[in-house]
Amino acid sequence: DGPATLGGGGAAPDFPRALLPACAAAVAFSLVLTALDGLVLAAAERRPVHRSVYELLPLALGPQLVHALAGLMTAVLWRSPYGPLSALLVLLPMYLSCWVFARYHREQAAHRATIRALVHAVDIKDTYTRGHSERVGRASVLIARELGMDDRRVEGLRFAGILHDIGKLGVPTRVLRKDGPLTPEERRIMELHPEYGHEIVRGIGFLDEARDAILHHHERLDGSGYPYGLSGSRIPEFARVVAVADAFDAMTSTRSYRRARPVPAALAELKRCAGSQFDPRMVGALDRALRRHGWSEADSAVTADEPGAPYVAREPQGPREPQGPHGPREPYGAEAGARRDAPPVPRARSAAPLSGPSRD
């Protein structure tokens, strides 16, 4: 039959025969090029060559095979009856789509780098809850997928969970790391962290709905939360998801002063508070997701924290007087798991006994 060629006869018969040799050549080229890149990387970073090659190969093989196929198509179309114009019309959209795809991935990488930098800043300032943000992000994703949200909203909820406590950057370190009960003034300062967080991420366009979750994740379904005292469906959906994920991780995380609660016990507490503190729909979604996927010990890593009492849910409160320009603000944190017993503290308005401040 003779060797596969791209000249002579029609283009169509040559293309299938040339495809296999071209792919083999592309694979060989990719292996050689990756090996050379691995040698350079290993020498630059003083690491084993095989490890560098192993890490680079999955990243290089796919794109280089695609480029080889594009080159083969160019050669075939160039020799077709329609000439170079056909190659341009077929391959230009392909390269444009590759360019858009690459740009999208660069933007996603930049988004992830931004999130990592913000979370790292919080972890440095508030060592008590290190790792908590990532786990809340994972639990939020479980809930979102169980609710059937699309990929864009799932990613947004992951960002919301990870950044829900970013406002702690605006809280004085002496308050975050205080060893002992917070004073009324310190408690009011701590309760400002959702608003601080909303301001910090205001200019980050890709966060979108995540901003609402950062601002409202301490709202309660019965209207006794903060910072605005929203109730029911007035609380954004993302905030209702993050509130459940936040409380679940707080209860199931091992702290320096206590062991983690078992997952069934944490779910039972969430169900007990559903309807008053948490959205029953979100609690049910988390329950179903955990039955399907589980929650490993690695998910609930050890978290350093100061001593506190177990998770306690407050009873709904009566009418309250407005405080400040943003409406009523409740004592910080029955929705988080770590609690410290504290006596009732007089406030400028009527309030139920406090369960103590939270660091989550």
CA atoms within 13 A of residue 283's CA, in its CB half-sphere: 19
Which one-letter DSSP state was computed for residue 218?
T
Contacts for 274 with CB less than 8 Å, ≥ 6 apart: 280, 283, 284
| % of the chain with per-residue pLDDT over 70 | 76
Residue with tokens 């169509």: 12
* Average confidence score pLDDT of the chain: 76
Taking the C-alpha atoms of residue 87 and residue 90, their distance in angstroms, rounded to an integer, is: 5
Predicted pLDDT of residue 112: 81
Contacts for 52 with CB less than 8 Å, ≥ 6 apart: 37, 38, 39, 41, 42, 45
pTM, full prediction: 0.61
The region of weakest confidence among 14-18, 77-81, 155-159 is: 14-18
Radius of gyration of the chain (CA): 28
The model's pLDDT over 287-339, given as tens digits with 9 standing for 90+, comes to 999 998 888 755 554 443 333 333 333 333 333 333 333 333 333 333 333 33
| pLDDT, average across residues 343-348 | 32
Whether the pLDDT of residue 344 is over 90: the answer is no
C-alpha distances out from residue 315 to 223, 247, 330, Å: 11, 16, 12
Which one-letter DSSP state was computed for residue 309?
B
The model's pLDDT over 89-129, given as tens digits with 9 standing for 90+, comes to 777 777 787 788 788 878 878 888 888 888 888 878 877 66
DSSP assignments along 226-293, one per residue: SSS---GGGS-HHHHHHHHHHHHHHHHS-BTTBPPPPHHHHHHHHHHHBTTTB-HHHHHHHHHHHHHH
- Structural domains of the chain, ranges and CATH numbers in brackets: 11-81 (no CATH), 109-293 (1.10.3210.10)
Predicted pLDDT of residue 7: 47
| pLDDT, average across residues 249-269 | 84
Confidence of residue 179 (pLDDT cuts 50, 70, 90): confident
Predicted pLDDT of residue 345: 32
Confidence of residue 31 (pLDDT cuts 50, 70, 90): confident
Long-range contacts, stretch 112-117, CB < 8 angstroms, 24+ apart: 114/204, 115/159, 115/162, 115/163
| pLDDT, average across residues 2-28 | 62
Whether the pLDDT of residue 142 is over 90: the answer is yes
Residue ranges of the alpha helices (H) in the chain? Answer: 11-45, 49-78, 84-125, 132-146, 151-163, 173-176, 184-190, 193-200, 210-216, 237-252, 263-273, 280-293
First and final CA of the chain: distance in angstroms? Answer: 73
Predicted pLDDT of residue 308: 33
Predicted pLDDT of residue 357: 37
Q: Which comes out higher in pLDDT, residue 4 or 99?
A: 99
The model's pLDDT over 323-336, given as tens digits with 9 standing for 90+, comes to 333 333 333 333 33
Confidence of residue 46 (pLDDT cuts 50, 70, 90): confident
Whether the pLDDT of residue 16 is over 50: the answer is yes
Say how many C-beta atoms besides its own lie within 10 A of residue 213's C-beta: 31
